[in-house]
Amino acid sequence: MAGLPPGLLIRTGKFVWTTMWRTMMAQMAPASDSGDYQRPTSEFRSWLDADGPYPPEADRYSLMVGLGCPWAHRTLVTRALKGLNNAIGVILVVPSPNEGCWVFETPFQGCRTLPELYRRAKSGYSGRSTVPVLWDGVTNTIVNNESADIIVMLDRACHHLGTNADRVLYPDDLQATIDSWNDRIYTAINNGVYRCGFAQTQTAYDRACAALFDLLDQIDQTLAQQPYLCGETVTLADVRLFTTLFRFDVVYYTLFKCNRRRIQDYAHLGPYLSRLYHLPGVAATCDLEAIKRDYFGNLFPLNPGGIIPAGPDLKL
């Protein structure tokens, strides 16, 4: 092996690594024929309803979350803003770098991993076992695993269970505006950073990166005129944007190649991020070390060495 020309070593290494990389990426981040990341849809979509099988009741439901996951984080932020900490429990899972799945810190319902619990909730289930999960402790099943649904339920169906009666995050008069922001933010930013990081062609990456920063620039201009996306009050649109922005400079800027500029480089997005972070209860949901550990330590195809960077220090 030592006698092989360096050029042959390089070509062989690139071929082997590229083949392995594409195989792993196909499992972790399915892509279209053009190399664009395609996020699978959530499969558990039941709702909390006073007249349905899952009535909103205190001490009945729990959120299963991983602290590094932005989709799970938005449910924790909503729970905090609504004052639901005493009514809705939290069950933590952590990613296993060797097993490629979420694992319970302590076994739950006889299950060690989240995929085991998914299969227990739905016999024969073969889809992705993701967080967040809204778990019903009475029927011992998964109610919903779509974060966009869960935060609406926490705001509306569980409103009477919270201590912040004046905080409405999805008010009737702003729903159309919130939904419009959510659609754009999900495509270009929430999922957009993943489309950058998981892109499997240069064209797919360029397309995702351009859309990401075009919308960030537009939002920065909007925030020059008002404190929040929909005006003077925080809404679910801000919650959904916040968890991506909080991870941006720490993870997405480097690991996902979203490095055209940092959030703290924007005149208005930086202060906006700080404003949201300092809302009562929000900072307690944020764990930068868990975020860095989960992304840099577990996304092997993007960071084979598993080295976790020391910084940066967010000035919030």
pLDDT digits (tens, 9 = 90+) for 291-303: 999 999 988 888 9
Cα pseudo-dihedral 30, 31, 36, 39, rounded to 10: -30
Cα pseudo-dihedral 97, 100, 105, 109, rounded to 10: -160
Cis peptide before 312 (omega within 30 of 0): yes
Secondary structure (H, E, C), 35-69: CCECCCCCCCECCCCCCCCCCCCCCCEEEEECCCC
Domains of the chain: 61-161 (3.40.30.10), 172-279 (1.20.1050.10)
Catalytically annotated residue among 61, 118, 170, 194: 194
pLDDT tens-digit map of 38-97: 666 788 999 999 999 999 999 999 999 999 999 999 999 999 999 999 999 999 999 998
Centre a 10 Å sphere on the Cβ of residue 187 and count the other Cβ atoms it contains. Answer: 15
Sorting pLDDT into bands at 50, 70 and 90, what band is 1? very low
Higher pLDDT, 16 or 211: 211
Cα pseudo-dihedral 98, 91, 189, 229, rounded to 10: -170
User: Given this model, what pLDDT does residue 20 score?
Assistant: 55
Catalytically annotated residue among 69, 158, 258, 286: 69
Given its phi and psi angles, is residue 313 left (phi above 0), alpha (psi -120 to 50 degrees) or beta?
A: beta
- Put simply, whether the predicted model's pTM sits higher than 0.85 gets the answer yes
Residue 146, both tokens: 């779509």
Q: Hey, is 304 helix, strand or coil?
A: coil
Active site residue 194: yes
